[in-house]
Amino acid sequence: MGALKKVSLGCGGLLGLVVLGIVGVVTYARLRSDALIHFPDTPYPAVVASTDPEVIERGRYLVYGPAHCTQCHGDYPRSEPAKNTPTTPVTGGFEFDMGPMGRMYSANLTPDLETGIGARTDAELARTIQTGVLSTGKLSLMMATSVANVSNEDTAAIISYLRSIPPVRREIPAPDDGMLSLLLLLLPLGPDLTPAPTYVPAGAEPSVARGEYLAEHVMLCAGCHSDIDLSTFKPTGPPFVGGMSDPSPEPGSDMVFTPPNLTSDPEFGVTGRLDEDAFVARIKHGRVYAFSKMPWENFQSASEGDLRSVYRYIRSKPASNQDPGPSYRKSSWKPGDPA
C-alpha cells in the first residue's frame, strides 16, 4: 500500500505540473498574442458622418443589402435566417462559437452610449470598418478576416445611417479567447492598410466598374467563392473559382455547403450556365437551403442594377473549369459521386 500511495502521489504531482505548465503556456500565449494584435498607431480615415437624407438612405441600403452587416449584427434566430429582414435591429450579440478556440460576439451597432457605438467617433468607426482596428487599438478578428475595405464615401454612409437609428441598450458579452491565443501566435494577422478603394456610384446603366467595386469590396464575393489560405484569410489563387466546404450548422447533419464556381465556364461556372436575367432572378429568388451561410436575404435587397453589374464583372474575369462539386452535399462526397 505504501508503494502504491507513493506512485499515486507521484502521478498526482506530475499531473499537477502538467496542468500548471498548460496554464502557464496559455497565459503566456494570451499575453503575447494580445500584444501582437494591438495596432494603436493605425491611421484614422478622413471620414465624417452626414445628416443628408440621401447619404443616410444609401447607408441603410448597404447595411441591409450588399454590405450584409445584418448577417452578423442583426438580432434574429440563426436557425431562421429568413427573419434577417430590412427591419432587423442591429443590436448584435450573435455568438461565433469556435469550439476550443473560444467565442466571439458581434457588436451592438446602435448609437447607445454605453453598449453600442454612441461613444465612438466617426474616425474610430471608420478605422474599424476599413482596417479592422477597434477604438482600443486592438485588431478585431471578425472585422479583419470577414469584412473588406470599402470606400470613404460608403463608410461615411454606413456610419451616417447607424448614427440616425434609435439607440438600444444591449450588453454584449466579452469574448472568450479559449485556445485562440495559441493560434494567434502562428498567424501573420494585421490591419488592412491598403488604401480605401475608389467609390464607384451606381450609374444609369450597370457597369463592370461598379460590379468590381461591389464584388471585390462591399459584397466580398471572393471571400467565400475562392480557395482561402487559412493563415492569412486571403485567396490562394484566382478568385470566384469556388470555395471551401463548411459543415451545415443544422443539428445532427452530415451535410456540407460548398460555395460554387462563379466564373463564366459553361460547364461549372454560375455565370457561364446562367444568362444575366437568370442570374438576377436567382439572387432575387433567395434562399433554398435553410442553413446556407450565403447572405441571401441581404443580397435579395440589392438593386437589380447592382446585381447586373456584379454579373458583368465576374463574367469579365477568366473562366475556370474547377469543379467544387455540389453546393449542398454529404461530407463524405468525393468527385465521381452522384450529386
Do residues 147 and 231 share a domain? Answer: no
Do residues 61 and 160 share a domain? Answer: yes
68-90: pLDDT as tens digits: 999 999 999 888 888 999 999 99
Query: For residue 126, is it within any domain?
Result: yes
- pLDDT value at position 17? 45
The highest-confidence range among 269-283, 284-298, 322-336, by mean pLDDT, is: 269-283
Do residues 313 and 269 share a domain? Answer: yes
Do residues 255 and 167 share a domain? Answer: no
Do residues 173 and 57 share a domain? Answer: yes
Query: For residue 237, is it within any domain?
Result: yes
Quote the cell numbers at residue 231. Answer: 493563415
Domain of residue 244 covers 208-330
Do residues 174 and 67 share a domain? Answer: yes
Residue 220 has pLDDT above 90, yes or no: yes
310 against 293, higher pLDDT: 310
Q: If you average pLDDT over residues 155-178, what whole number do you get? A: 93
pTM of the predicted model as reported, rounded to 2 decimal places: 0.87
- pLDDT value at position 193? 87
Q: If you average pLDDT over residues 29-57, what whole number do you get? A: 82
Do residues 132 and 229 share a domain? Answer: no
Do residues 232 and 280 share a domain? Answer: yes
Query: For residue 203, is it within any domain?
Result: no
100-146: pLDDT as tens digits: 777 889 999 999 999 999 999 999 999 999 999 999 998 887 887 77
Q: In total, how many domains does the chain have?
A: 2
Do residues 110 and 219 share a domain? Answer: no
Quote the cell numbers at residue 159. Answer: 456610419
- Which position has the grid cell 454605453? 114
23 CB-near residues (< 8 Å, 6+ apart): none
Query: For residue 6, is it within any domain?
Result: no
Quote the cell numbers at residue 339. Answer: 450529386
Name the domain boundary from 151, 184, 217: 184
Query: For residue 2, is it within any domain?
Result: no
Query: For residue 238, is it within any domain?
Result: yes
Burial classification of residue 167, based on how many CB atoms lie within 10 Å of its CB (0-12 exposed, 13-18 middle, 19 or more buried): middle
- pLDDT value at position 22? 40
Do residues 163 and 221 share a domain? Answer: no
Q: If you average pLDDT over residues 9-30, what whole number do you get? A: 47
**Using an 8 Å Cβ cutoff, are 271 and 263 in contact?**
yes
Name which of 15-19, 44-48, 240-244 the model is least confident about.
15-19
272-285: pLDDT as tens digits: 999 999 999 999 99
Q: Confidence class of residue 309 from pLDDT cuts 50, 70 and 90?
A: very high
Angle CA 92–96–102, to nearest 5: 130
> What number of other Cβ atoms are within 10 A of residue 79's Cβ?
11
Query: For residue 31, is it within any domain?
Result: no
Query: For residue 196, is it within any domain?
Result: no
Burial classification of residue 293, based on how many CB atoms lie within 10 Å of its CB (0-12 exposed, 13-18 middle, 19 or more buried): middle
- pLDDT value at position 301? 96
- pLDDT value at position 34? 57
- To the nearest whole number, what is the mean pLDDT of the chain? 87
Do residues 218 and 306 share a domain? Answer: yes
Do residues 263 and 146 share a domain? Answer: no
**Using an 8 Å Cβ cutoff, are 64 and 70 in contact?**
yes
**Using an 8 Å Cβ cutoff, are 103 and 97 in contact?**
yes
197-216: pLDDT as tens digits: 999 999 999 999 999 999 99
Q: What is the DSSP letter of 218?
A: I
